[in-house]
Amino acid sequence: MREIVLDTETTGFEPDQGDRIVEIGAVELFNHVPTGKTYHQYINPERSMPQGAFEVHGLGDDFLADKPVFKDVGRAFLDFVGDAKLVIHNAAFDMKFLNAELGWANMRLLPMDQAIDTLMIARRRFPGSPASLDALCRRFSIDNSARTLHGALLDSEILAEVYLELIGGRQPDFMLQENGNDSGSVAVSGQRWTPPPRPNPLPSRLSETEKAAHDSFVAALGDGAIWAKPA
């Protein structure tokens, strides 16, 4: 199974108000394991950078001036993504921008059901707890010390680690499976592991005194007790 962990940086929050993508970073996973293949592209937004956005990612007008515009790199981006699932933190935001840019370039749009939203996964797993990427790094002891500014490729690399932890660790498809004796072994399995029967039943925790008291109580109830009636 191929997945693409993805992040974008933008000039703001709303493409329908003129905001644009300025950076895309993506990391490829295959069967939840990073392959080493990445996609990274800075993009000229064809507009000035607001100060607030610059303070987030540090990408200014001078740096982006000689970078390609989206319509010149959109095809390569789509080729890299293909039909893989897109793992995104707050997927609605990035998908909104990606589809706006793709639409302006007259290219195919990405269906929303192609995205896996790690923000939603985190909120379901840890309701009421902070679910930002930094907060999840702290929860899972993931080193994000290099993240002084937002950067699409670095954030996607960090998100890949967070995603693997959110879905159960680096080997989420590994389960305990019966191997023919009394112990279990770790193996890839499509079935849920269940323990084998005990060779010797556990001894009763009910003392003889307690058992006699129970029998006396039941006898005192007579034949009218519910459990004395035939089913």
So which residues are the catalytic ones?
150
Q: How far apart are CA 35 and CA 21, in angstroms?
A: 26
Cα distance between the two ends of the chain? 52
Please give the C-alpha separations between residue 55 and each of 58, 89, 100, 222, in angstroms, as whole numbers.
6, 20, 24, 81
Decide: 97 and 68 in contact? Cβ < 8 Å. no
CB atoms within 10 A of CB 106: 8
Element (H, E) at 121: helix 118-125
Which of left, alpha, beta for 180 (phi over 0: left; psi -120 to 50: alpha)?
left
87 contact partners, CB below 8 Å, separation of at least 6: 3, 4, 5, 6, 29, 115, 116, 118, 159, 160, 163
CB atoms within 10 A of CB 78: 16
